[in-house]
Homo-oligomer: A and B are copies of this chain.
Amino acid sequence: MNIKKNITIHDLALALNITASTVSRALNDNPRISDATKKRVRLMAEKMGYQPNVAAANLRKGKGNNIGVIVPRINRSFFSTAIGAIEEIARTKGYNVIIAQTHEKYINEVESVITMLNARVDAILISLSAETKNFEHLEQISKRRARLVFFDRICEPMNAPSVELNDYRVGKDVANHFLDMGARKFGFLGGPDFINVYKNRWNGFIETLMANNLSNEDIIINTKALTREEGRNAGLQLIENRQLPDAVFCVSDFAALGIYQVLREHNINIPEKTMVAGVANEPFTEFLTPGLTSVDQNSEAIGKAAVNLFLNEIEGQETEQIRKVIEPRLIIRGSTLKQ
């Protein structure tokens, strides 16, 4: 027969002629247990192939060892890299990482939060969906004694621990770079204004222009999706304009790509005629010809910071600031390098 029942601490106790409590304490390295006993227990556990029943422990302790991560889409370089970083750290601390994607739908976000809470996650690290404007589901989290950490797309009013990119500086750096390259007329392709990320990029961009007595009132296009397709539409709009801008800033690389392609199809030279810059430093940006100037979001650092915010919190290190800002890095490539 190969259907051996799972070994429990009671089996170990029996074999060692001690009680289950002692076994439990020994395995948890409780100081009340002598080193000798601990050693015996561990040896026997090894020998009998003991594997703890996490569900039982969870039930008793009222918590699991899980961290939930909710993002719009997993197969976005930014998110998958952040998740990778999160997983790496979480695992060394004994946490499992449960993932969910919202596909930018509010309803999916709500459901994922509930499911994760039921699965007894100790924390939810979340990057909000584009649709999310109501936050009741997130308030459930603390009521159910789990932690909440925002990253990237945060909800400022909730005042929860959060990690965000310095998106203001994203806009500022790009604007300054454009100015350095001699641009005087600007285009801007932005996203929904209620998402902090997009709002801040816009602010950083426009305020820097204004500080230089310039503006780009005419050529602002706000889109909802920031896909390549939307980028193409925006590009067509630009071309229909009587006068092309010297430089266009897109808050997303994919949208930038759309513009980029339309411009090239219309034989409008990048960067000589119009410069283009995006955000995310997606892998493909490097390989366009010319390369697409973009802003690296330091996704790995963001992921790491997010888990660490949680880990520090439960380890009682309140010293850490509750709101972490990661600095972006402007990657200058051919699309903004005029000779």
**Band of interface residues on A:** 35 or more
Q: Is the CB of B91 within 8 A of A83?
A: no
Once the chains are docked, how many angstroms separate the CA of A83 from the CA of B80?
A: 10
CB distance from A140 to the nearest CB of B (A): 9
Known contacts A80-B80, A112-B91, A120-B54; A99/B99 CB under 8 A = yes
Q: Which residue of B lies closest to A6 (CB)?
A: B144
Chain B: CB-nearest residue to A142: B2
Whether a CB of chain B sits under 8 angstroms from the CB of A14 is no
The yes or no answer to A98 lying at the interface (CB within 8 A) is yes
A87 CB–B CB distance under 8 Å? yes
Report which of B96, B111, B117, B118 forms a contact with A119, defined as CB distance below 8 A: B96
Of A58, A77, A112, which is in contact with the most chain B CB atoms at under 10 Å from its CB?
A: A58
Contact among B97, B98, B287 for A287, CB-based, below 8 A: B287
Known: A53-B59, A83-B74. A115 touches B98 (CB 8 A): no
Does residue A158 face the partner (Cβ distance < 8 Å to B)? no
Residues in B neighbouring A55, C-beta threshold 8 A = 55, 58-59, 64, 120
A310 to chain B, nearest CB (A): 17
The answer to whether the Cβ of A11 comes within 8 Å of any Cβ in the partner chain is no
Q: A66-B119, A287-B287 are in contact. List 7 more A-B contacts (CB 8 A).
A: A6-B144, A53-B120, A74-B81, A87-B100, A94-B115, A99-B99, A284-B287
Partner-B contacts on A (CB < 8 A): 2, 6, 51-56, 58-59, 64-66, 73-77, 80-81, 83-84, 87-88, 91, 94, 96-101, 111-112, 114-120, 143-144, 257, 282-284, 286-289
